[in-house]
């Protein structure tokens, strides 16, 4: 049923509403582990209060250490191109909270949820907020589900926030589950081994629901297979069906040639996401599309190829090898864990440049020392921090970096660091901002 609400006092403005949500509620992106709950009770309670909106639309659930944001945006863009009204829930946001909750218009692309909806929703659930004291993420998930129901979407692509088993999004029963890959991240919460992290991610596998695994690894395969077997869920390993056998750049797009099992032809795909790590995500997306067809979704090759050329334009995905300036080349990338930084450094190695300038900021709860070992010593470093309590202060970051032979100066915020790098760099140099989603989000150069 639809809930109506009335208030006698004036509604908060959008800015006041966001301040209320950010300041009053535990928020993982700001304070870290203290905001994480190994319990779905609050999300269930919120959605019951709202009439269980998550049960009123079809969904696709996506987890993984890296790549789940790219895969989510690719799949949403493909569904849009195929003619489906599609919801898209991702986290965290870069600039505006409403980036987390989007719905497409079939004649255009995805739009962020309206400010008026955020205000009205928050006012409507204030009684239950005061009663159960949910986290910021729990409220955001419930808000997304409610918005998708109000917008009457055909399907929603739902990205997990952290882990899977206890992630607030995990109250849905999707038509398809996707786990992109498993890497060492959030070990203080998910476990200190690949196997333990895989167990948490495997928590999104639901009874009878097919699951696509993006990358097969010996140390995680048995976990995924045993969980799928217990749930009678068909399981598909994407990288065993296809592999990239060639790629190049053309007009800032990534052109990928694939080899498919039991097929002679080598299909070519063009992506407007130029990071070479997108080849792995592409393989995951293609297998997901194949399984969606088995779930009666009319998603075919022509729509897929058309959509992949314009993921950024249609879905608004940013911060993935995002070129924001030429001569010198300035790139923003949200890589922030070991696997992400490894992939970023592979991209640096194949990108033509003279000197390398690295603007780096991290959060305290990452394996900072392990990540810093992956950075090249022959680079100019600018250590800084995002304006959140969870950020590792730039002085401490510099001290840890120097142990690994990385030398540079400290700057109070990312934009001062970027201006300094721009003043030093020559036209053929490369400047990269990385290490934290929140750091990238604070860069003032417009996307």
pLDDT at 250: 92
| Mean pLDDT lowest among 6-10, 195-199, 414-418, 430-434 | 6-10
pLDDT band at 447 (very low <50, low <70, confident <90, very high): very low
Residue 1's pLDDT band, with cuts at 50, 70 and 90, is very low
Other C-beta atoms within 10 Å of 191: how many? Answer: 16
Burial 7-29 (b: 16+ CB within 10 A, else e): eeeeebebeebbebbeeebbbbb
- Residue 344 DSSP SS3: helix
Query: Looking at residue 389, what is its pLDDT?
Result: 87
Give the least confident one: 54-63, 175-184, 408-417.
Answer: 175-184
149-161: average pLDDT: 97
Residue 189, pLDDT score:
63
Span 163-212, pLDDT tens digits = 899 999 999 999 999 999 987 665 566 766 889 999 999 999 999 999 99
Tokens, residue 372: 């810093």
Separation between Cα atoms, residue 358 and residue 434, nearest integer Å:
8
Kindly report the pTM of this predicted structure: 0.92
Lowest-pLDDT choice from 6-20, 80-94, 404-418: 6-20
Q: Nearest-CA neighbor of 104 among 78, 124, 125?
A: 78
Amino acid 35: pLDDT: 47
DSSP β-bridge partners for residue 156? 59, 87
Burial letters 101-140, b for 16+ CB under 10 A, else e: bbbbeeeebbebbebebbbebbbbbeebbeeeebbbbbbb
pLDDT at position 38 is 75
Residues near 420 by beta carbon (within 8 Å), at least 6 away in sequence: 382, 409, 411
| Mean predicted confidence (pLDDT) in 344-348 | 95
Contacts of 335 (CB under 8 A, 6+ apart): 341, 343, 344, 434, 435
The alpha carbons of the chain give a radius of gyration, in whole angstroms, of 21
Name which of 223, 281, 288 is nearest 256 in CA terms: 281
Which of 58, 134, 69, 123 is closest to 299 using CA atoms? 58
* Residue 390, both tokens: 């969870």
- Asked if the bond preceding 76 is cis, omega within 30° of 0, the reply is no
Q: Per-residue pLDDT tens for 350-389?
A: 999 999 999 999 998 878 999 999 999 999 999 999 998 8
d(CA 439, CA 358): 13
CA distance 425 to 387: 25
Q: What share of the chain in percent tops pLDDT 70?
A: 92
- Token pair, residue 37, equals 């709950």
Strand ranges across the sheet with 110-112: 110-112, 101-104, 86-89, 155-159, 58-63, 176-179, 211-213, 235-237
Mean per-residue pLDDT of the chain? 91
At a CB cut-off of 8 Å and minimum separation 6, what does 407 contact?
A: 381, 401
Bridge partners of residue 260, in order along the sequence: 242
Tokens coding 63: 């987890």
Omega prior to 203 cis, within 30 of 0? no
Q: Which residue has the tokens 């097919």?
A: 210
Work out the pLDDT band at 8, boundaries 50, 70, 90: very low
Each residue's pLDDT tens digit, 223-257: 999 999 999 999 999 999 999 999 999 988 999 99
**Alpha carbon of residue 390 to chain centroid:** 19
CA 126 to chain centre: 28
Rounded average pLDDT over 123-145:
94
User: What is the bridge-based pairing of β-strands 329-332 and 322-325?
Assistant: antiparallel
Name every residue whose Cβ is closer than 8 Å to that of residue 222 and which is 6 or more positions away in sequence: none
For the ranges 32-46, 73-87, 238-252, the lowest mean pLDDT is seen at 32-46
Q: Please, which residues have CB within 8 angstroms of residue 6's CB and are 6 or more apart in sequence?
A: none
């Amino acid at each position: 049923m639809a809930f109506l609400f009335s208030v006698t006092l004036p509604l908060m403005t959008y800015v006041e509403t966001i301040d209320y949500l950010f300041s009053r509620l535990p928020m993982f992106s700001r304070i870290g582990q203290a905001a994480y709950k190994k319990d779905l009770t609050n999300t269930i309670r919120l959605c019951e209060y709202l009439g269980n909106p998550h049960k009123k639309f079809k969904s696709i659930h996506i987890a993984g250490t890296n790549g789940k944001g790219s895969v989510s945006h690719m799949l949403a863009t493909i569904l849009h191109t195929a003619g489906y009204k599609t919801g898209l829930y991702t986290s965290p946001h870069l600039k505006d909270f409403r980036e987390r909750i989007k719905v497409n218009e079939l004649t255009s692309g995805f739009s962020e949820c309206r400010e008026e909806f955020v205000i009205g929703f928050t006012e409507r659930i204030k009684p239950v907020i005061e009663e159960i004291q949910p986290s910021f993420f729990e409220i955001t998930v419930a808000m997304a589900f409610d918005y998708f129901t109000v917008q009457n979407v055909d399907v929603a692509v739902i990205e997990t926030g952290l882990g899977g088993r206890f992630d607030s999004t995990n109250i849905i029963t999707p038509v398809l589950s996707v786990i992109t890959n498993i890497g060492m991240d959030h070990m203080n919460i998910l476990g200190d081994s690949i196997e333990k992290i895989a167990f948490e991610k495997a928590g999104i596998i639901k009874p009878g629901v097919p699951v696509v695994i993006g990358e097969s690894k010996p140390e995680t395969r048995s976990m995924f297979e045993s969980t799928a077997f217990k749930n009678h869920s068909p399981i598909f390993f994407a990288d065993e069906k296809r592999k990239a056998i060639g790629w190049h750049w053309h007009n800032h797009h990534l052109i990928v040639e694939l080899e498919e099992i039991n097929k002679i032809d080598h299909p070519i795909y063009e992506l407007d996401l130029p990071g070479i790590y997108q080849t792995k995500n592409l393989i995951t997306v293609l297998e997901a599309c194949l399984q969606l067809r088995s779930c009666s979704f009319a998603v075919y090759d022509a729509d897929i190829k058309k959509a992949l050329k314009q993921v950024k334009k249609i879905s608004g995905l940013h911060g993935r090898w995002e070129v924001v300036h030429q001569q010198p080349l300035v790139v923003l990338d949200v890589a922030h864990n070991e696997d992400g930084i490894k992939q970023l450094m592979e991209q640096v190695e194949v990108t033509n440049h003279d000197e390398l300038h690295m603007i780096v900021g991290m959060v305290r709860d990452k394996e900072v020392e392990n990540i810093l070992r992956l950075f090249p010593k022959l680079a100019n470093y600018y250590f800084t921090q995002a304006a959140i309590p969870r950020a590792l202060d730039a002085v401490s970051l510099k001290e840890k970096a120097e142990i690994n032979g990385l030398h540079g100066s400290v700057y109070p915020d990312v934009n001062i660091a970027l201006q300094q790098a721009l003043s030093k760099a020559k036209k053929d140099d490369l400047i990269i901002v990385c290490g934290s989603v929140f750091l990238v989000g604070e860069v003032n150069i417009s996307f």
